[in-house]
């Protein structure tokens, strides 16, 4: 991907790296950690995020090979640059035991099938619903935010064994979820290249 990095972003990363040594992280993990921290100005994400480098390598390849990207809310999709996303929230209908967000995830799965990258930054119920499907995801970025269900849904994601990026606290949200996906989008195909 040919991307011109703005001087403000370069300076932001310089300051981030001055305050936090991210060099021990493997390349894609470092890219995700730095971009999430950059999006939230929150250094605690360095110890709050949970991911596996091998899962990121596989997801990176799938993403660059054109795997679909599904988001739980349009705000997450708006934050993902240079890539079309699928969001079916507006078509979702709440019902007994089913939130609109969860129904939107069902509809998205019916549309894209297995192998997608799923980016959930808003609704814990969307992540919970995804875990009930046989989605065989390339990656689940599960970073819903909130005091009700967020921690539990992210713990369930980690326990599922699916390839994932999550965090252990209540923190999360659209900006950090889209930042995690953008980190994979922006990272060069050759892992030997440096990423900003």
Residue 152 φ then ψ, to 5° = -65, -40
Q: Please say if 38 is a catalytic residue.
A: yes
b/e code 145-154 from CB counts within 10 Å (16+ = b): beeebbbebb
Residue 100 is encoded by which pair of tokens?
């609109």
65: buried, middle or exposed (CB in 10 Å: 19+, 13-18, 0-12)?
Answer: exposed
DSSP code of residue 146:
S
Classify residue 172 as left (phi > 0), alpha (psi -120 to 50) or beta. left
- Active-site pick, 6, 38, 60, 187: 38
Catalytic residue numbers read 38
């Amino acid at each position: 991907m040919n991307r011109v990095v703005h001087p403000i972003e370069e300076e932001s990363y310089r300051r981030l790296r001055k305050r936090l040594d991210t060099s021990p992280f493997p390349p894609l993990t470092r890219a995700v950690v730095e971009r999430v921290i950059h999006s939230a100005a929150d250094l605690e994400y360095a110890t709050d995020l949970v991911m596996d480098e091998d899962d990121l390598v596989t997801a990176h390849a799938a993403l660059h090979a054109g795997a679909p990207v599904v988001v739980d809310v349009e705000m997450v999709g708006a934050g993902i640059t240079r890539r079309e996303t699928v969001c079916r929230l507006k078509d979702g209908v709440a019902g007994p035991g089913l939130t609109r967000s969860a129904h939107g995830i069902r509809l998205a799965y019916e549309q894209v099938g297995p192998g997608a990258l799923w980016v959930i930054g808003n609704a814990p119920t969307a992540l919970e619903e995804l875990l009930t499907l046989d989605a065989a995801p390339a990656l689940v970025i599960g970073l819903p935010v909130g005091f009700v269900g967020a921690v539990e849904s992210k713990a369930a994601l980690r326990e599922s064994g699916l390839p994932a990026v999550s965090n252990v606290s209540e923190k999360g949200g659209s900006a950090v979820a889209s930042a995690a996906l953008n980190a994979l989008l922006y990272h060069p195909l050759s892992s030997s290249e440096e990423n900003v």
